[in-house]
Chain A
Amino acid sequence: MKLLVIEDEKALADNIRSYLSTNEVICEVAQNYQEAVAKLNVYSYDVILLDIMLPDGNGLDILHYLKEEQSEAGILIISAKNSLDDRVAGLELGADDYLTKPFHLSELNARLKAIYRRRKFQGFTEIKFNEIAVDTNNHEVSIHDKQLELTVKEYELLLFFISNKNRVLTKQTIAEHLWGDNVDFLDSFDFVYQHIKNLRKKITAADGQDYIKTIYGLGYKFHNN
């Protein structure tokens, strides 16, 4: 996956690049409007991460530019403004998703991958992780080709884990992924534990391996031993 990060805050761009750069992801950074347009003229990207507020122009102008160029890149907007208008304007101009600062890098990763899947495979995609297969189009999960009955939250949780495999996910990150803004009033993250317990049970009951490793006092990691 080729990714362009258009973000004027260098420290944040560095974070994103260090976190996302893997064997599968090539990540480039543009720090302003001019640089972004120059890069977009020359290269093609699978996904573009766009900060709406740029020092030399509005990020929405880049959306206009991409639309004119009939670019096929997926676009994820990041903004410090949790403003409905910006969100609507961005999505209307063809952005795929909108993320408000500050975000968890794992959340960003999951969203980027979702956009990439939708764009690249037009939704007909099956994510495989050993014996686990996730059909993101029909929201179905099967283990050893046997369908697994999961609740919506359990499905989201599993997908979030697979998108962030081998990464440490804190309870906070997971809670915010599952419940969004409503998480702020839940004083404990016991309910994350509940969901993970149920998911584990269902996977092992279907003869799947337990890939969810508990990191004491912190969170979980989904990985293949």
Chain B
Amino acid sequence: MRLITKATLLYLFIMSLVFSLGGIVTYNMVMKAVAKETDYSLAQNMYLLEDAIREGKPLDALQSSKTRITKVSTIQANDTVYHFSDTLAMHPYWKRLEPYRKMTITRKVDTAYYRFSMIDIFLETDDVSKGVISVMTRLFFGLGLILLLASFLISSWLFQPFQRTLQKIKSFNLKENNTITFEDTSTKEFNQLNGFISQMTEKAQRDYVSLKEFSENAAHEMQTPIAVAKGKLELLLEDDNLQESQLPLIQSAQAALSKLSRLGQSLSLLTKIENNEFTVKETTNFSEVVEQSVITFQDICELKGLALKSNIEKNVLLSINASVADILVSNLLKNAVRYNSTDGWVNISLNKKQLVIENPGHPPNVPTNQLFERFRKSNQSGASLGLGLAIVKKICEVNQLKVDYVYTEGVHRLIVKLP
């Protein structure tokens, strides 16, 4: 939910509370005021009747449907106090019970005591509450409408700098070396936010660059000590005093060193592709690259007892660095050979739309799209480094190619969609 929608809804909620409370208070105040006025007018009428009695008018002439005067001989102490109450009485014309205000009091007029009992029609509570509710709802809807309009108009203006900031963060790419710059806004909070984001992105970029340099240097620096260790082992092999049981130890140490060195090289290759060090775009005859790889792998497939079939369309041109294209194809072929079934086959086909490499094999243990992640292997203990497909993915990303891994009915299928 948008912030402004949230705020508006909250306002509307508070408004409805305020207006209902306001309605109740208003109703009560109106009722009180009306009662006071009615009582006052009853008292005034009584004074007029007192004057009439003093003038000697007969009591019968003063009686009416609303007024009853009786002469009393004795009084109690509290009878001389005004006594007001609400009552229901028959309306003379409407012939139905209506709320009335009633006043009773005993007064001394000249020398005699008279008991006054007077009623007057009272404002109906229904009418009051109806009036209050109608006023309140009109106010509520009027204000609400204005609030909605205002909030949406203001938000588009007030939140403009915020939207711009969001847009900039969205288009920010750590790998591109351009910093984010913000224009000053008149809102303090947005300025703080922008300043904070600038600092953060700059730091992230600095860290990214140093990490990149570190991984590249580490991969290079690693190779010399590995070369030294490998050489020492080879010198050890020349020693005639070695026992036969010691030889496999040297062999496995050498194999581990080779793996370590390949790991370094693969990681440094990934970093290089990531750093766009192969951006020198050239038009490469992709068909030739694929054909060359097929020739290289023919031999290996024969040794592994795999049938390699290829169907390559001539002169498929691609805007890609030739050596990167070669790495792409050979990594895919390596994968197809490595995860093949015994006496299996490898199919490679290339046309202007796509490159497809297929091979039979065991179903992958993890979802196929996860196999493009670094060090993600179907068989964790296998001899592979788990970087081949990560390199494939990276090459595809950098060169605007799309790669998909599908496993259906016992066949692994890697599809590279050409642009």
Contact = CB atoms under 8 A, between A and B. Distances in A.
B323 A84 contact: yes
B383 A187 contact: yes
A182 B231 contact: no
Contact of B227 (A101, A170, A218, A219): A101
B108 to A, nearest CB: 124
B216 to A, nearest CB: 10
B227 A103 contact: yes
Interface stretch (B121-129, B260-268, B352-360): B260-268
Interface string B117-161: 000000000000000000000000000000000000000000000
A80 B265 CA distance: 9
B384 A170 contact: no
Contacts of A103: 227, 230
Interface string B298-328: 0110011000000000000000000100000
B304 A102 contact: no
B223 A101 contact: yes
A153 B224 contact: no
B343 interface: no
Given A105-B235, A182-B296, A218-B250, A12 B255 contact: no
A187 B231 contact: no
B294 to A, nearest CB: 13
B395 to A, nearest CB: 15
B143 to A, nearest CB: 72
B227 A187 contact: no
Instruction: Sort A-B residue pairs by CB-CB distance and give the 5 closest, nearest first.
Output: A15-B231, A102-B227, A191-B303, A80-B223, A101-B223
Interface of A: 9, 11-12, 15-16, 18-19, 80-82, 84, 100-106, 153, 167-168, 170-172, 176, 179, 182, 184-187, 190-191, 194, 215-219
Interface of B: 220-221, 223-224, 226-232, 234-235, 237-238, 244, 247-248, 250-251, 254-255, 257-259, 261-262, 265, 268-269, 296-297, 299-300, 303-304, 323, 330, 334-335, 337-338, 382-385, 388
8 contacts: A15-B231, A19-B235, A101-B226, A101-B227, A153-B299, A172-B254, A184-B262, A217-B247
